[in-house]
Amino acid sequence: MKKPDVRGFFDPITATWSYVVYADGETDTRCAIIDSVLDYDIYSSRVKTESADRIIDFIKKKGLEVEWILETHIHADHLTGSAYIKEKLDGKTAISKHILKVLKTWEPLFHNEEDTPLNGSQFDHIFEDDEIFTVGPFEARIIYTPGHTPSDTSYLIGDAVFVGDAMFLPDVGTGRCDFPDGSAEDSYRSSRKLFKLPESYRMYVGHDYPPKGTRSPECMTSIAEQKHRNIRVHEGISKEDYVTKRNNDDKGKAVPKLLLPSIQVNLRAGKFGKKMDGVQYIKLPIDKI
């Protein structure tokens, strides 16, 4: 099996890993971008594009053609750069069909139905569970991995699986499960689904939060390492023990500081919505979170 090349881009402000997946040196120059970042300063409500521009510059220098702009889920801790990247490079935005659950949960809070379609049509493609597609010369498959949120989905591209917040590196564990319709039980089941992949397969995570003073941020591990070393879900941990500890650790956690702007923008596939007198706005519901 020819293995896809993967270039990771780390945003230290949100600890997010974004990826470009491609075939280096091949005549097929199509690529996928996964979990891009749009820089947003919550204090001034100003947007910058430095993180997305790094990806754009890399793609241009490599002579790649953007085929897919993929989201593993609706992020609560950063704004997606997908709309900006599509404007600059084209490509199809895509996400799992389970975004429809998230839309139903959040849109009544924001009352943004006018510019945030509840049918997901703001995305160019909505994936079915287990759907097969291609990224350049590589076969790819959807793996539904809920738990962190009800829409979390992993992308298996060749021998590389991109898991978003479903799992983190072995010394970090798994994503929190206290968001609406999140589920520690689902998180455990998703880990077991991923563990069925060959042990040599690469796993790329959506964030990295290295234990203090231990190492620099990293993005990749293997299925074997996760099965044997993940501090939360390694083989031998029972579902009951995992769920109890995950729920206890999530109890009382602070809301991510970018949650309200992130959810609104990401549900629109990276757009800020309808303008009023030429100005776009983020809504901040009072006493609702």
Model pLDDT, residue 195: 98
Share above pLDDT 90 across residues of the chain, in percent, rounded to a whole number: 91
**What's residue 255's pLDDT?**
94
Q: Which pLDDT band holds residue 274 (cuts at 50, 70, 90)?
A: confident
Q: Are the C-beta atoms of residues 205 and 168 closer than 8 Å to each other? A: yes
Instruction: Give residue 254's domain range.
Output: 5-266
Among 35, 31, 250, 21, residue whose Cα is nearest residue 164: 35
Answer whether 0.75 is exceeded by the pTM: yes
Q: Is the model's pLDDT at 46 over the cut of 80?
A: yes
The pLDDT value recorded for residue 277 is: 87
pLDDT over 90 (residue 64): yes
- Residue 276 included in any domain: no
Confidence band, pLDDT 50/70/90 cuts, at residue 239: very high
Structurally, how many domains does the chain consist of?
1
Tens of pLDDT, residue by residue over 137-181, are 999 999 999 999 999 999 999 999 999 999 999 999 999 999 999
The pLDDT of residue 152 is 97
Gap between the Cα atoms of 203 and 226, Å rounded = 9
CA 80 to CA 55: how far, in whole Å? 13
Asked whether residue 289 is assigned to any structural domain, the reply reads no
> Would you say residue 74 lies in a domain?
yes
Report pLDDT for 113: 85
pLDDT-derived band of residue 26, with 50, 70 and 90 as boundaries? confident
Per-residue confidence band for 275, with pLDDT thresholds at 50, 70 and 90: confident
Domain-embedded: residue 277: no
In a domain, 233, yes or no: yes
Domain of 34, CATH number, reads 3.60.15.10
Look at residue 94 and tell me if it is in a domain: yes
pLDDT confidence of residue 210? 94
pLDDT at 114: 87
Identity of residue 85: I
pLDDT at 251: 96
Q: What is the mean pLDDT of the chain?
A: 96
Provide mean pLDDT across the span 237-260: 96
- The tens digit of pLDDT for each residue in 104-131 reads 999 889 998 889 999 999 999 999 999 9
Does any domain span residue 167? yes
User: Is position 249 within any domain?
Assistant: yes
